[in-house]
Each structure stands twice: as structure tokens, then as C-alpha cells.
Amino acid sequence: MGPHPAVAAIRLAVRRVLHDILNAQPASPTPPTPPERPLVLVACSGGADSTALASALAFEAPKLGIRAGGITVDHGLQSGSDSRAEDVVLRLTALGLAPAESVAVQVGRDGGPEAAARDARYAALDAAAERLGAAAVLLGHTRDDQAETVLLGLARGSGIRSLSGMAAISGVDGRYRRPFLHLDRQTARKACLVQHLPVWDDPHNTDPAYTRSRLRHEGLPALEKALGKGVVEALARTAQLSRDDADALDAWAAQAAESVCDAAGLLECAKLYALPPAVRRRILRRAAIEAGAPAGALFARHIEEVDRLITGWRGQKEINLPGKVVAQRQGGRLVIRQG
């Protein structure tokens, strides 16, 4: 008799997302120096999603010829968070993950509490991956998380890229892997239940002070009540379709960028005007970032203002962008530079 369907699903998801990391070469009978097996880490909060992911990685790692480790990040935002992090490390160790470590971080204030915690968490995971030489870090985001991300992007009005949600593979050299994006949250929780794995439910996930929590417990249920079941699946599907479209437009913009520059490398307004708006605005955004504007602070409204220098030119003054970058039109050329 095989494993429970939920357990089989999470294991298959992990197996699929690690196919390009496998050290599949069989060793010769007397290798001079056996190559070290690649290390894959799982980021585990102790919640159901990441605990299920840790269990699946622990099961699959020996079969795949990789080493499996775990990292839990202590954000220090709740009383006793250090003790809970130590407990997560014990659980990871009990699953057979090594190394299993806790990393404490200081959460700043930039962008609000949720964004600041996320930035601190990824910085810690990046540092741990570099220090331990990990080939990949697995994250437990599910299809439900993806649906919430799409709705948050829709509310920001930031364009198709924000609707594309989270990528299955992202980060430097494809470091971050999200095996569960096609699985729902209940599958992960069920996998923990049938394997008798204890899970911790973060009170922040039910705290109405947090936007994602309100969306999870009020917004999505209201949408399902109004539109019927299947909203989560539809939003996740929208994310993938949007990502495909956004990738295609990014590739088009990268090719077109060379054709709209003069001999001095300045953007020619007439050639920019002839491009489709979606392509033109991508070129403008990339030019602003290359000039020093922080990508995270560069919003759609900034690019729209710059775009009006092309499409609605009435002798406007220079446009101030984040990072002390300015954009101005000079004699049929668009100049984006540090102010």
C-alpha cells in the first residue's frame, strides 16, 4: 500500500522541482575524489506548509542523491520566538535534516511590517545559502498563497508583472524553489496530519492588522461566496498566464531597447513613441533602474509620468524619480540620469 495521496503529492512536487540539481552520475568503483552531494535547504517556520515540505525533502533527498538541510528564521516579533525557533530546529533534526539551524534577524520598518519581515527573511536565507554552499532553498508557498499574491498585485494596480505572482523558480541562479505552487494549503496540512507531524499556527496569519491575513480570512472567502468555488485555482492560473505574457513582453522590450537609442546611447523619443505602450514603458523602467532608481521603489505612476514626456509632450520640466534619478526631454531625446 502506497503513501496517503497528500503525502504522495508533496513528495512528487519536491522530486519535480529538484530535477536539475540531481547528482545523478553513478560513481565509479574507485573514484579518486568522490564529489560532494549538493545541499538543498528548506526554509521552515514550523507551519503546516513548510513542515510538509521539510518532510518531503527529507524523504526524497536520499533517493535523489542530495543532502537535505533546514533553516528557520527567528524574526523576533513575538514573545518566545527564540524558543519556538529552537523547537523547529529539533523537528527538522528529527526528520533527518542536517544541517538544521535557526537564524535570528532584525526586522526594519521599510515598506510596512509584512514587507520588512519578508526582506529580512530573504536576506537571512540568502546569507545561509551562501555560507552553507546550498544549491537551492525550498519555500512552502502554496496555490492559496499564490492567489493571495495575485489579488494583492491587482489592488496595487502595478500591471501584469504584479499579477504574475510568485515564480516556481526565482532568485540568483534559480536558488529559490516553490514546489507547492500547484498544491492547495489543505493538502500540505493533511500531509502533516497523516504523518503525525506537529505544526505551529502563526498568530500573525489570523491577525486582522496584516493585509494578507485580512485577505485570507475575509477577502477570499467573500469572493468564493460571490463567485463560487474555484476562485483560488482561477487566480493561480491567472498568475501563470500573466507570467508568460510578462516574460514575452520583457524579451520584446530587451530587443527593442537597442533600436531606440542614437549613436550616443540616448533614447530617441520618436522611436519610443512608435512602440506599443507595454514595450515602451518596460524600456523606460529599465533605463530608470540602470540610472540608479531602486526597482522596489519605482511604481507604475513614476513610469507613467516619464511616459508622458514621450506621448504628451508640452514642455514639461524634469521628472523626479526615486533614488535621486531625473528624467527629462532634451531636443527629441529622453535623458534619464542621476540628478
Mean pLDDT across the chain: 90
How confident is the model at residue 22, as a pLDDT? 64
More confident residue, 291 or 154: 291
pLDDT of res. 26: 45
Least Cα distance to 147 among 164, 134, 133, 130 occurs for: 164
pLDDT value of residue 78: 81
The neighbour count for residue 301, using CB atoms within 10 Å, is 9
Q: 323: burial class by Cβ within 10 Å (0-12, 13-18, 19+)?
A: middle
Per-residue pLDDT, 289: 95
- Contact in structure between 131 and 38 (CB atoms under 8 Å): no
Would the pLDDT of 4 be above 90? yes
Q: With a threshold of 0.75, does the pTM exceed it? A: yes
Phi first, then psi, for residue 252 (nearest 5°) are -60, -45
pLDDT, average across residues 230-242: 94
The pLDDT of 154-171, averaged and rounded, is 86
The answer to whether 94 and 107 are in contact (CB under 8 A) is no
pLDDT for res 29: 53
Buried b (16+ CB within 10 A) or exposed e, 117-143: bebbbbebbeebbeeeebbbbbbbbbb
Distance CA 269, CA 257 (A): 12
pLDDT of residue 19: 84
The DSSP-derived string for 157-180 is T--HHHHT---SEESGGG-EE-TT
For residue 235, give the DSSP letter.
H
pLDDT band of residue 201 (cuts 50, 70, 90) is confident
Q: What is the pLDDT of residue 164?
A: 93
Asked if residue 24 has pLDDT above 70, the reply is no
Assign 183 to helix, strand or coil: coil
Q: Are 239 and 149 in contact (CB under 8 A)?
A: yes
Among the ranges given (30-44, 157-171, 321-335), the one the predictor scored with the smallest mean pLDDT: 30-44
Q: What is the predicted pLDDT for the residue at 30?
A: 53
